[in-house]
Every structure is written in structure tokens, then in C-alpha cells.
Amino acid sequence: MKKKKQKEEMTFADRYREIGYKIAYCRKHMNLTQEELAEKVGVSRQHIGAIEAPNVDRKVSLDLIFSIAELCNVEPEWFLQYDVQRFGNSKEL
């Protein structure tokens, strides 16, 4: 009997969470507080906090992604590259 790999799909919530993790990573790498990052990109500290919180699925605008990417000196597409293995079980049937 052949083994098949079960394909796990990321939900939109998973994708927003992954973006939040990457924003937090960039912010910390630049030694910025949430408040400092928020001020530099023109949003509230609460909004940055909600985006970075793993238990909150806050939507992120492209404008914000572009602003944070420019500030952190990364390509905006980096925020949209997802690690599917992190989300879900990769079980073989």
C-alpha cells in the first residue's frame, strides 16, 4: 500500500499570526519597543500589540507591511512567506 502525505492548509488566521511573528522579530532585531515601531509607521501601540499577539488574529494592511518592511530593510514579500510545517500535523497515511 502506498503512503500519501496529507496536505495541511494554513488558515487565514495562521497567516496573520505568522506575519505578526515576523513583525515582532524585526522590531526586536531593531531594538524597538512596540510604541516606537508604532510611532514610526503611524499606527497605535495597541494595533502593533494586537498584530504581534499569538492569540489575536489582527488583519494587517499592505500599507503597514510596506512601511514596516522599509523600516526594517527587508523585502515586503518576506512577511508573506509562510512555513506550512509550523501549522498542522504532517502525518503520513
pTM (2 d.p.)? 0.79
pLDDT tens-digit map of 9-31: 889 999 999 999 999 999 999 99
CA distance 76 to 15: 14
pLDDT number for residue 56: 85
Domains of the chain, first to last: 33-86 (1.10.260.40)
Contacts by 36-43, CB closer than 8 A, 24 or more apart: 37/68, 37/71, 40/67, 40/71, 41/67, 41/68, 41/71, 42/67
pLDDT number for residue 52: 96
CA distance 41 to 60: 13
Mean pLDDT, the chain, integer: 84
Q: Are 23 and 51 in contact (CB under 8 A)?
A: yes
